[in-house]
Structure 1
Amino acid sequence: MNALLNTVLTHLIRRGDLTVTDANGVKHRFGDKTGDPVRIKFKTRRAERNVAINPALKLAEAYMAGDIDFTKGDMYALLQLVFENAGPNGAQEPWIRAIDSARRAGRRLQQINTIGLASSHVRHHYDLSGDLYRLFLDPDLQYSCAYFETPDTTLAEAQLAKKRHIAAKLLVEPGQKLLDIGCGWGGLGLYLAKYLQADVTGVTLSEEQHAVANRRAAEEGLSAEARFNLQDYRTLKDPFDRIVSVGMFEHVGVNHFAEYFQQTARLLKPDGVFLLHAIGRSDGPGATNPFIRRYIFPGGYIPALSEVLPHIERAGLVVTDIEILRLHYADTLKAWREAFMANRDIAKSIYDERFCRMWEFYLAASESAFRWQNMMVFQIQIAHRQDAVPLTRNYIEAEEKRLKRLDSAPRVANTETMPSLGATGR
């Protein structure tokens, strides 16, 4: 076995049961032999060396290339073993820390998302075959953190609960103009149009999502209430009563945070409410994982709250509420990963083996980051005025209960409206 890889694994794997078969066929065992065993085989010496030097990128690349295989366990089991030994802050060798420092120093060059570049970055991921996403997402195609109200909640139920939770914080009144920045396949916008009678405009840079969202609006008879545009949010001019953005801020990049909040401040009416739902870091600023940046989300970055809040303040906006969703995304990703693996053969027929290995790693690594590392989801409610929302959070639960009566019942005309802000204790 490569001497450097042996040193890394000896230092790192103190608990658990990992057996590595090297490129020469020799087996090496690490850990205290407790827990479920993981067995991994390297096919080339080059893969051993690369993984030892730069595991954040080369472990994924070696697996994608077929230079690593599992004889027992899988990638998720390996990552669990690594992260449970390393702890939330990681146990890294000096050269790995140096590589990470270099990535942090150069992160602004990696996150240039001008209007032209942003479109190509979005198309890289979101214009994949719609048939692929239907293999593992819920029927509404919600591709963001769900909201699990109980341990027994299904993925579809949790995604519906997420829409209710967001809708309740938006305090939408019938007929209000609502902007959905990064509208995905239209599920949230259609929900807000259907159950809150909002006048919805959604924007996306994905041609696939744009087509699907408008087709869904037409099929549901909501084209007059919800329209979805292939448009960068930075080109919008008209003001809105409500703004929502779910899972899009991760694509903005640190270079453009000020631009993002200055634009949303311009678009939000003086008495408006803006709800931002995004992935965040719980341990301060960092750099995008090199595998994610190269293969999954080019131009993307997961920010710490300490990087976000100053730009909200400088834009003249007021934070009226912050909620941290911790393991909700880990459970969401678990459901996605299991569904993807159950449909792996279909995914392979759409793409190929290398693609399937790439997505296995993406989903396993993402779940691991939320379950054992430093990833979480935040929801920030933002306004121009401190009195734009009620002074207590009681209205959120009350509105969720009202919406649950509506979205769980057979489809009928919605005559039940949200109480006015005055009635909720503003």
Structure 2
Amino acid sequence: MESAKSCSIEEATYSLPSKAHWSDNLARRAVHRLLARIGRGRLSVHDSEGTHEYGDPESPEPLHAVIHVHHPSLYRRVLLNGSVGSGEAYMEAAWSSPDLVKVVRLMVANMEMLQAMDQQRNPLRRLLSSIYHRITANTLKGSRQNIAAHYDLSNELFSLFLDRNMIYSSAIFASPEMDLDSAAEYKLRHICERLQLSEQDHLLEIGTGWGGLAIYAAKHFGCRVTTTTLSQEQYHYARDWVEREGLEERITLLLKDYRKLEGQYDKLVSVEMIEAVGHDYYPDYFSRCSQLLKPEGIGLIQAITIADQRYRQALGSVDFIQKYIFPGGSLPSVSVITDHLCRHTDMQLVGLEDITFDYAETLRHWRERFFAQLSEVHNAGFDDRFVRMWEFYLCYCEGGFRERVISTAQLLMAKPACRQLPQVR
């Protein structure tokens, strides 16, 4: 399905400079030279000097993106800070687009040009990126701070756009007709079935979220669940929900780092939590997962991944998502995951299912629901700058998934003594 058009706020309320900075014209010429490298699709840029067309009009690539430049500071920001600068300029309403997802898709479809744009960043920016990674490292203390920065924003905010089970990860759309609630619940059932959960099982969940998966597994599959989070807001929300459901005897809720967990469990699940682990901590994460599983256990990780070919390059950079949305966040690649399974566990990868395009659809639904509740977002205390930041975040991710520069997969892992694996269907 083609992505829905951007639901941006057209009336900006920010105080942009009334006059262009002397360097803006120089930056404008440099950025337009970079845009001239676009080879796939087409880009139309409307600014104070007219309309500029880039790309091949005869290109079989159907993407045609449109940008309206409202203030020339956009060019300076892009020249100094690449794609991060474009996001910052969007937050300040220096530019807009009738379909922001298309802009993101066009840019990543022209990866060589996008990389050249990001490489324009000056040495000071690269030094700051290095420092950023140090101060947002996912130590025991750092992880709590990083998690709180995003997940403790407001339970009310997340409830405005997530499904009824408060699932903040990719749904699975088994059919095009599915709505978000149905697709999110289908994903929960799919995970439980892949893990072959039963009343005899004790499931460990690393990354509670708001409690949706733990409650679903306990109610529908009868298993015991121990689940842990670092978010105070999520912990309190999940605790109250578990009590309302009367599941206190089946669900144990912890406010504890995965590195502090003890015991052994029949099954393990960790849904889109690995993105908050950090590259330097993968050995500990995977070894802990292995140690926490019984000899015959199985585990499932749902992970957002980056292409193997781009993993090393991403290690030293700071993108918009890391700077403004998920501090300390990082994406593994599939080969990095399998390498750590090999070197730090006795587990084997026994199944992989790609749900990348399901995530693009999930993000489209989140974005539409977010903007349908825009007045409530404002009432919850979030201003237009925050709204534009989140619009850029949601569109940035959706475009990345639609072009498959980032992916999502469910990886099933088994311990050596496991003799019951889910059947291939």
TM-score interval (norm. to shorter): 0.7 to 0.9
Give the partner amino acid of 2:406: M
Equivalent position to 1:336, from 366, 386, 392? 366
Partners of 1:304 and 1:116 in 2: how far apart?
26
Counterpart in the other structure of 1:7: 33
Aligned length: 385
Is 1:294 the equivalent of 2:323?
A: yes
Is 1:368 the equivalent of 2:362?
A: no
Give the partner amino acid of 2:87: A
Counterpart in the other structure of 1:378: 409
Partners of 1:37 and 1:63 in 2: how far apart?
15
Contact 1:138 1:156 (8 Å CA) reproduced: yes
Q: In the TM superposition, what is the alpha-carbon distance from 1:119 to its structure 2 partner? A: 0.4
Is 1:40 the equivalent of 2:71?
A: no
Q: Structure 1, residues 106-146: CA drift from partner, whole Å, max 9, x if none?
A: 59647621111000000000001111111211011000011
More moved, 362-371 vs 306-315: 306-315
Is 1:91 the equivalent of 2:91?
A: no
Equivalent position to 2:198, from 173, 190, 196? 173
More moved, 274-283 vs 358-367: 274-283
Counterpart in the other structure of 2:270: 245
Q: In the TM superposition, what is the alpha-carbon distance from 1:63 to its structure 2 partner? A: 1.3
Q: In the TM superposition, what is the alpha-carbon distance from 1:169 to its structure 2 partner? A: 1.2
Partners of 1:266 and 1:50 in 2: how far apart?
47
Equivalent position to 1:274, from 289, 295, 299? 299
Structure 1: gaps of 5 or more residues: 398-426
CA distance 1:191–1:377, change in 2 (3 Å): same
Structure 2: gaps of 5 or more residues: 1-24
Give the partner amino acid of 1:380: L
More moved, 134-143 vs 339-348: 339-348
CA distance 1:109–1:388, change in 2 (3 Å): farther
Contact 2:63 2:102 (8 Å CA) reproduced: no
Give the partner amino acid of 1:261: F
Task: Note the aligned Cα RMSD (angstroms).
Answer: 2.5
Aligned-residue identity in percent: 32
Q: In the TM superposition, what is the alpha-carbon distance from 1:15 to its structure 2 partner? A: 3.6
Counterpart in the other structure of 1:63: 90
**TM-score, normalised on structure 2?**
0.84
Partners of 2:38 and 2:404 in 1: how far apart?
16
Contact 1:56 1:289 (8 Å CA) reproduced: no
Q: How does 1:25-424 map to 2 (within 5 A)?
A: 25-31=48-54, 38-44=66-72, 46-70=73-97, 73-84=98-109, 86=110, 89-92=111-114, 94=116, 96-97=118-119, 106=130, 109=134, 112-284=137-309, 285=311, 286-287=313-314, 289-314=318-343, 315-350=345-380, 351-385=382-416, 387-390=418-421, 393-394=423-424
Contact 1:53 1:95 (8 Å CA) reproduced: no
Partners of 1:298 and 1:42 in 2: how far apart?
29
Q: Structure 1, residues 319-363: CA drift from partner, whole Å, max 9, x if none?
A: 222222221111111111111122223213321011001000000
Contact 1:126 1:206 (8 Å CA) reproduced: yes
Counterpart in the other structure of 1:19: 45
Give the partner amino acid of 1:160: E
Contact 1:113 1:253 (8 Å CA) reproduced: yes
